[in-house]
Structure formats: C-alpha cells, structure tokens
Structure 1
C-alpha cells in the first residue's frame, strides 16, 4: 500500500442568485459575530440496476448541541436538483447549500428536505421507465402536506470565523429500495457526513485475473469494493454485506457492515480501478474488501455474498492511499466439500 499526495475534489461552485437565495429561520442568516461560512455538498456510493437517481432538495435544518437552542432552518428560495446522484462518485460532489453564515459551535444533527416524486425526484432503472422517488411518508399522499426529510444523526462542528465545508455521502446501495409490488422507490436515511478538511481518498486496482477467475463467475459488472471501519484482519473478523432491517439508516450492528463502497471500472488503459472518496482520517484505520457479486446485496436482507482478500488501509487527510487486489476469490464452501469428498477412496465417499 502506498500513499500519494494531491487529493483532488471537484470544485464546489454554485451561483447564488435569484434561484438560490437562502433564508434562515430560528437563527441569524448573516453577519453574526464569529459566524462561520458553511457549505453542504452531496456525493454518493453506487447502486446496481439503476441508471439515474434524480433528487431535488429544498431545505436544510441544523440542530445545535444545546438542547434549549432552536433549530436553524435554511430554506432554498428555489429547489436545487441533482440530475443524477450516480454521477457523483469517488471525489466528485455537488453543492446544495453554499456560503451561508452559520453560528459557530457544535451541532447534534442535520435534516435534508427532499421534494419527492416526478418531476422533482425519480429513479430510472436499467430496464424500465422513470419512476417516482419518495422519502418514506410521501408515497400515496401520506405526507399530509408536511415536508419530508432525511435526518443524519451525526454530530459536527462549525468553526468560528472561518469556512466549513461538509459533504453528505448518500449510501444508495443501503438507502435506495423498491418495495415489493410498488410502482415507486424509497430513499431512506443511509448517509454519512464528512468534514472536507478531515478526509482522504482510497484508490486502487483489481487484477484482471481476479475478475476472470472461475469463482468470480457470473460477475456483476466488474464487482465492487466495500469499506469497513477498523482493521478486520487484526481482530480476525470477516466483512459482511449491507443490511438495514429497520430501513432507518442505522443498519445492523451485529456484524461488520460496510460504511461505503465503490464500483470497479475499467479505465482507458485497460486497468480495473476504483476510488472511495471522502474517507475521514482516523487512528483506527479501515479495511477494504472486493466482491464479485454486489448485485446480490439487498439492504433489506442479510445476504451471503463472498469477498476476496481483506486489506487494511490507513487514511491521511488530503492524501490518497493506494491498494491492490490480486487474490482470487475462494471456491464456495459446497464446492470445497465436494472436492474433498472426491479425493476420498470410493469406499469412504458413500459409506453404508
């Protein structure tokens, strides 16, 4: 594993004009002493079987850590539409709120409000037509005229007298679901909040021999790389799939669940590469694992998907950590048992 500097991120540019004026309710929106200029952008982790995820945002609420403090509400004069969240992978992000004055201090949570349904928010599957996308409670008119939001219960700090840039990472593989027999998709609160000055990047390659290995067939695209908290090898633990049985974004804590993922794509040089951006620097570090079958990973079920080698990786803010997957996937357990049986004498293969 190697580290290289020059962490790059797509420039955050938003024209603040008649279509993006902001007002703050429950708090001051400008000129407060020591206030911090704050921006929020969005990015996403990939999901299978869909081509476009269009989302329209209309407001952000911030709750100060002081229980007695009022919620700060920043409502957009005009909604901000992200035409396709799926295009914002790796280190790419787009702003939905930029340069607003926020009182400095600690905050408990943030809410992002979404205008659900066509033409505001929708999903276009690989096979099918554009379909409504709702926040739970918006479908079938269940919102009762009330705006719906996704709440991210991650504490964060706005620095006094300086600029604070945050990125909201939508983990679509975990948060985007299509209820059985429904004609719409739901977007659940599966998100991460990152302070941009505290993040680095994990990038790497997957050997072609891994993708072409018989145990990797059939393969979903070129597979995916999953990211986990901590060094799984050091504690002799194995990676697991996405699983959020309650559908509330909290996930299942009984196993080692991924916090982000990235598709493996073939570049112009023929290499198979991946990039996981917006990874916070921590003392505990991380682990990455490659799977050939991300399409078999549904968030509503605890799926038994196979991974290849698990690689421990440290992340330094502003730098890129490089890893390489070269180990072929293991044969399924039932195949290993069959091979063992076939190696036994015939008298022992089928005992009476």
Structure 2
C-alpha cells in the first residue's frame, strides 16, 4: 500500500527529475488534486452510539495502481485519535474512531483533509476498518461492530488536476447495520452507504404536526428524547403512490433512497433531517412505524407523502407534514 509519505516522495522525485533535465518532451509529470473526505449518518433505532474505527483510505482504478492514505501517517491530513481500543483497553494505532450517531442530517466529521491524490478517474474508494468498532446499546452495554472483510468498497471518484474536491460518505444505518441472529454483535454492510460529491448534493429538514401524530395514534411527547416517534422515507421521483412504497427490507415497487427518524424536542416540535442527498426530485413519505429491519419486509403504513425538490446547496430544503 502507498502511504501519504510515499506520495510525498513521488512529488519530490518528480520535481528533482524536472530540475535535473531528466524529463524530455515526451515525459509527463504526475498532476495532483486536493481531496477531502468527511463522514455523516442517518440515525438508527436501538443504539446510543455507533463507533466505526477507520484505518486506511484508498483510491483504485486510475491505471496507475492504488493510492492510499493510512490514518495517522500525516496528522494534518488524516489524524488519528484514541477512541478505538482492543480487548485489553489499549489504543489501536493508526485509527480514527467516529461516532456516527453524532452526525445526523447535514452534520459531518472530516476523515481526510487536504490530501494530495494523483489526478484521474478512480473506479472505487475503499475504506479499511480496524478492530475496536462497536455499538453502544440502549442499556449502556457495548456489542462489537464488524465489517465483512474489514473493508467498505464504494463508488467512483473523479479528481481533476489542480482542483479541490470535497466528498462525504453518508451512512444510512437503517439499511446498513444489522444484528444477525446467533452471531456476536452487529454487522455493518455496504448497503445504504452513499459516497457523494458535496457540490452535487443538498439537505432536507422538516417537522411533523403533533395533531397529525395524535389523529393517527402515533407516539407523542416521549420522556426519552432519543425515542423516535415517526419515520420519514425518501424515494427518488415525484408522486410515488403510498401503496407502492417499500420499507428498507421490503420488495414493493419503490425502494427508499434514504430514511430517518422524527424526534420530539421536549417542548413542542417534532422534527427530522436528512443530509447529503443527490440533487433531484423526490417523494417524502411519513409513517408512525419506527421499527424497520433492513433484512425483513416489515408492515409499514404510510400516512401521507409530498413531493420535494432537492437542490445542490448547503441550505436545507423544508418539507413539513401538517394535519
């Protein structure tokens, strides 16, 4: 694997060759782009924290071999922290632990800042996940969180020479995180993970009228602020019929692009948010069914839906559900 120090050496070598006249007319020096990567999340039920331990970020498929950055090799670009620990409580080196449940809606945390990658079209971004990842459950106990083959493989990235590119990895834990029967702990799958270019996405926020919840026998004013009272699902395209909408584990005509919980603020508001959505037209649908197993077709009844257009902007679009 090529580390950030290896990349720096490549830059120095290219400069030295140019200064010594080693480059002829037919030689082309590598061109570089600045790459920033952040992490965000949509909340999941039944957990107080979901800590993921990142170890390495790699771009592959540009015809020049893989280019990778190991967490902690250059703290200015990929800083490590002490959140990831082994069974004896020792800090796992070269890791950065991020609690995804702190990053709902348009919130995000930087994983890579100002890294120099060779410009090109990369077919895949790969994240290596270290030991130490866990789910803190509602009773305060911790269960291990595993990733198949300890890596997450995501979509393509295009980096143009001299440019600065900001990407975000959005974890939709309602799709991606499962608790397989008979296995120790949770499993984090690549299903529901979205790698997006920040210049091409927007955000959605909204509220739900309390009267609408009451009229449909939904939960209202829970004492626990972390208890969801409803769910909002987002579907690509406009005017999607309620009867044809699927939950995260269902097989109806239209599959969710993303989903999130509706929470009570402890006073009078019931609000929700979804971040890093590809610009386009969507159907937002409301349900008071908050349990949704991503591997099972659950009975989810939708109360109402509305069309919403997401624009590429840092200013969220509003979508309110009224009586």
TM-score scaled by length of structure 1? 0.72
- Within the candidate set 247, 271, 292, 2:288 is matched to 292
Residue 267 of structure 1 corresponds to 265
C-alpha separation in 1, matches of 2:5 and 2:137: 36
* Residue 170 of structure 2 corresponds to residue 169 of structure 1: yes
- Within the candidate set 89, 92, 96, 2:111 is matched to 96
Q: CA deviation at 1:300?
A: 1.0
* Residue 36 of structure 2 corresponds to residue 36 of structure 1: no
C-alpha separation in 1, matches of 2:266 and 2:242: 37
Q: CA deviation at 1:193?
A: 0.8
* Residue 136 of structure 2 corresponds to residue 124 of structure 1: yes
Q: CA RMSD in A?
A: 2.7
Residue 244 of structure 2 corresponds to 238
Distance 1:313 1:157, change over 3 A: same
Residue 247 of structure 1 corresponds to none
Runs of 5+ consecutive residues of structure 1 not aligned to the other structure: 1-20, 138-147, 245-251, 328-352
Deviation string for 1:61-81 (max 9, x for gaps)? 1123x5x44122222234343
Aligned positions of 1:1-352 closer than 5 A: 22-23=4-5, 33-64=30-61, 66=62, 68-76=63-71, 77=73, 78=80, 79-116=94-131, 120-127=132-139, 129-137=141-149, 148-152=150-154, 154-190=155-191, 191-216=193-218, 221-233=228-240, 238-243=244-249, 255-267=253-265, 270-282=268-280, 285-295=281-291, 297-318=292-313, 319-327=315-323
Q: CA deviation at 1:200?
A: 1.3
Residue 248 of structure 1 corresponds to none
C-alpha separation in 2, matches of 1:160 and 1:222: 47
Deviation string for 1:223-246 (max 9, x for gaps)? 12111111143x7873210028xx
Deviation string for 1:235-271 (max 9, x for gaps)? 7873210028xxxxxxx6x631112222212337621
Distance 1:129 1:105, change over 3 A: same
C-alpha separation in 1, matches of 2:243 and 2:302: 13
Stretch deviating more after TM superposition (54-63 or 80-89): 80-89
Runs of 5+ consecutive residues of structure 2 not aligned to the other structure: 15-28, 74-79, 81-93
Number of aligned residue pairs: 279
C-alpha separation in 2, matches of 1:214 and 1:291: 10
Residue 340 of structure 1 corresponds to none
